[in-house]
Amino acid sequence: MNLYLPPDYRPMLPTEGMEDAIKLLKQTFQAELAEALSLRRVTAPLFVFADSGLNDNLNGVERPVSFPIKDMGDRRAEVVHSLAKWKRMKLAAYRIPPGQGLYTDMNAIRADEELDNIHSLYVDQWDWERTIRPEDRTVEFLSDIVRRIYGALLATEAVTHRTFPHIPPTLPREITFVHAEELRAEFPDLSPKEREREAARRYGAVFIRGIGGPLADGSRHDGRAPDYDDWSAPTPDGLHGLNGDILVWNAVLDAPLELSSMGIRVDPAALLRQLEMTGCMDRLALPFHRALAAGEMPPAVGGGIGQSRLCMYLLRCAHIGEVQAALWPEVMVARCAEAGVTLR
């Protein structure tokens, strides 16, 4: 457990006013996001069959919460880590045409999460997915999608400031784009997280591309599952990857804050390439992977955007527990209470 409370930190809103603020921000952002990307809302599952291949494997080491289903012969189900693959199946099932997509409220439990100011056992995010054309699998198209999402964030920050004038806007007008390899070359002696810190502090808002693939020195900026984002595609700039993360500078915590992980999804060729690179070819036996490899899934772009993280950033909170109901270690609750911070 790690906890940092800035000296003299005081919440910008009273506890009784926080719920209305959270409601306003969530309603505003999802409306802005839906309009920017032409998305419609759908209902999503809390759990999927463990043998379906639909759950997000994250970095491959996190244990999903699972349980046997009595009325189905004890077939096991898993609480989702995210809906990256499920959404793409729904694009196909709903026959959503290129240029349109869907979004949903995704709720997850990540029991192996290391708890701190921004990490919780409970994950809530807007999971979204959009059908694209094969020719849209480019860095330029990805960058346009990122700018649209950032525009929704700017619009939500403006509403926050109009409603709560004592919370000034801090986001830069434009988001900066940088590749993980460029950060490695500039800061070779820093860890990936330290590079993220330098980039977010320098630019205020940054999209780091190419997360998951090997860099020039053989390392990886961070782990990514091999079967949804395309992190290995060669690009005209001599680099690789059609995915990345949106990070902003959190002045309250004096640290970067990741708000979104997203990317253009793998096509059959990229799926096979990345499964081979990660030694996961056995996944081709799973229903989702078989369908994807056979070309039965539409080309897509998608990602997740943290709901509680967005709220804690825009409301200048020091702890995600100020905007989210979850479970916290007793010592963390006590230390926060001593500092006047109420965890829900």
Catalytic residues: 56, 110, 125, 245, 258, 261
* CA separation, residue 79 to residues 44, 56, 286, 308 (Å): 12, 10, 18, 19
Side chain identity, residue 74? D
Largest CA distance in the chain: 58
Helices 15-37, 307-314: inter-axial angle, 10-degree rounding: 120
CB 303 within 8 A of CB 261: yes
Rg (CA), the chain: 20
* CA separation, residue 276 to residues 51, 226, 232, 270, 314 (Å): 20, 9, 12, 10, 41
CB 102 within 8 A of CB 40: yes
The Cα–Cα gap between 339 and 331 comes to: 13
Helices 15-37, 139-163: inter-axial angle, 10-degree rounding: 150
DSSP annotation string for 266-313? P-HHHHHHHHHHTT-GGGGGSHHHHHHHTT-S--EEEEEEEHHHHHHH
The Cα–Cα gap between 65 and 44 comes to: 17
> Position of tokens 């921000």?
25
With CA atoms as reference, report the closest residue to 46 among 111, 123, 103: 123
Report the side by side order of strands in the sheet with 255-264: 39-41, 101-109, 122-131, 300-306, 255-264, 243-250, 205-209, 176-179
